[in-house]
Amino acid sequence: MTDAVTLPRGPAAPRRRDAEATRAAILEAAKAQFAQLGYDRAVLRDIAAEAGVDVALVARYFGGKAGLFTEALKASFKADFLETWDRRTFPRDFATMMADNVHRDEDRTQSFQFLLRAATSPTTAPLLNLAIQERFLAPIREWLGGDDADARARVLAAVFIGLLVERLIRNEPLAGRERQVFIDQAAAAFEAMAGPI
């Protein structure tokens, strides 16, 4: 036998709410819903359910559907995407990524599908344009630097987006000689746009 005494416990402390985690869960659910359904067909109640929260929290944190969409759009562009771009290896690295399987990085694929849906909606296309200018083209322009950085950034983005669409449609990695020629040609195009190191 033991001499241990069990002390009565008071009521359990309420679970601490984590506003940041709740906001992040709503954003993740919104990105998934907007990628799958687009802005017009996505429903706030479904987004809240997927995030495991009450729909009233969407309004509290984002003000409504348009605010949520805008924040989800901004969150789709990784703020640090340029930190991994090495100017010396960027052309071949990106060309190889475009030859690979689209499902290698599901988060990136979902983000791109979200952006495609946003581009095709008259309601969301202007929001997408602002987000692309601020979170995609501006950092690329700065990263490229030099003469005509504005035009070079726009061409690089257009080629990159075009190759993303081709990879999404292809839905499988390239193989054999076609893969090697694709990588060589795409790398040459990226190198020409990036300019000298």
Q: What is the DSSP string of 93-147?
A: HHHHHHHS-GGG-HHHHHHHHHHHHHHT-TTTHHHHHHHHIIIIIHHHHHHH-ST
129 shares its domain with 174: yes
User: Is 145 a residue whose pLDDT tops 50?
Assistant: yes
Number of domains in the chain: 2
> Are 100 and 173 contacting, i.e. CB atoms less than 8 angstroms apart?
yes
139 shares its domain with 177: yes
Q: State mean pLDDT over 164-176.
A: 91
* Tokens found for residue 2: 């033991």
Domain coverage including residue 63: 19-75
Q: How far is CA 177 from CA 85, 94, 98, 99, 174, in A?
A: 26, 18, 15, 12, 9
> What confidence tier does 118 reach under pLDDT thresholds 50, 70, 90?
confident
Q: Has this prediction a pTM greater than 0.75? A: no
- Reduced to 3 states (helix: H, G, I; strand: E, B; else coil), residue 173 is coil
The pLDDT score that the predictor gives to residue 17 is: 67
Gap between the Cα atoms of 194 and 74, Å rounded: 25
Last residue of a domain, one of 5, 40, 75: 75
160 shares its domain with 178: yes
108 shares its domain with 146: yes
Gap between the Cα atoms of 54 and 187, Å rounded: 48
43 shares its domain with 123: no
| Residue 3 belongs to some domain of the structure | no
> What confidence tier does 121 reach under pLDDT thresholds 50, 70, 90?
confident
85 shares its domain with 53: no
pLDDT tens track for 25-65: 999 999 999 988 989 999 999 999 999 999 999 999 999 99
> Are 137 and 157 contacting, i.e. CB atoms less than 8 angstroms apart?
yes
63 shares its domain with 89: no
User: Is 105 a residue whose pLDDT tops 50?
Assistant: yes
> What confidence tier does 188 reach under pLDDT thresholds 50, 70, 90?
very high
CATH number at residue 44: 1.10.10.60
Last residue of a domain, one of 27, 53, 75: 75
| Residue 110 belongs to some domain of the structure | yes
- Highest mean pLDDT, choosing among 102-111, 117-126, 159-168, 169-178: 169-178
- Reduced to 3 states (helix: H, G, I; strand: E, B; else coil), residue 68 is helix
Last residue of a domain, one of 75, 95, 112: 75
Gyration radius from the chain CA atoms: 22
